[in-house]
Amino acid sequence: MIFKGINNQTVEFKVTNYQFPDIKTPGDYDSNWLNIYINVNSNMGNWQTVDPSLLTSEFQSLIDWFKDLSVNKYGQVFFMEPNLDFLCTKQGDEMKTIRICFDYESKPKSVKDTDKEYFVDCVFTNHELLELSKELEKELAQYPVRVNKLG
């Protein structure tokens, strides 16, 4: 899916596979890491990365967070790996500004200044947030949770 940002910026965001697609052992925690592909075209540069940034449960949390925002329920979403972050920076009754932040393996490979922040801001209506959550649900349906607890 593609997040359309302010000033014609875009973030393509999709799951490419499990990090370890061949793990079949029940209870193996690592079987739930998802490789996340991002293709960023932004005011800060253009880059692509693929990294195991989210667990299946974290991806579900992101979906739930977008659903909650669509009905004006505010909270935060947290991920174990600090590569990606999603923040609601402006909260209105009908419009929200979401900042997608990139760090560590999700920054451009050429980064020299590790303190520089990389992000894209997107503005969504409540309806668009709900549709976004539905698109992400379709994406996650291809990569179901293999283990329901830490191994």
User: Domain residues of the chain, as ranges?
Assistant: 2-141
Q: Mean pLDDT across the stretch 143-150?
A: 71
| Interior angle at CA 46, CA 41 and CA 49, nearest 5 | 100
Confidence label for 141 from pLDDT (cuts 50, 70 and 90): very high
> What pLDDT does 148 receive?
53
Task: Look at residue 104 and tell me whether its pLDDT is greater than 60.
Answer: yes
The letter for the amino acid at 37 is: Y
> What pLDDT does 111 receive?
83
**CATH number for the domain whose boundaries are 2-141:** 2.30.31
What's the burial of 139, exposed, middle or buried (CB within 10 Å: 0-12/13-18/19+)?
middle
Residue 63's Cβ-side half-sphere holds a number of Cα atoms within 13 Å equal to 16
* pLDDT tens profile 53-70: 999 999 999 999 999 999
> d(Cα 43, Cα 3) in Å, to the nearest integer?
15
Task: Look at residue 31 and tell me whether its pLDDT is greater than 50.
Answer: yes
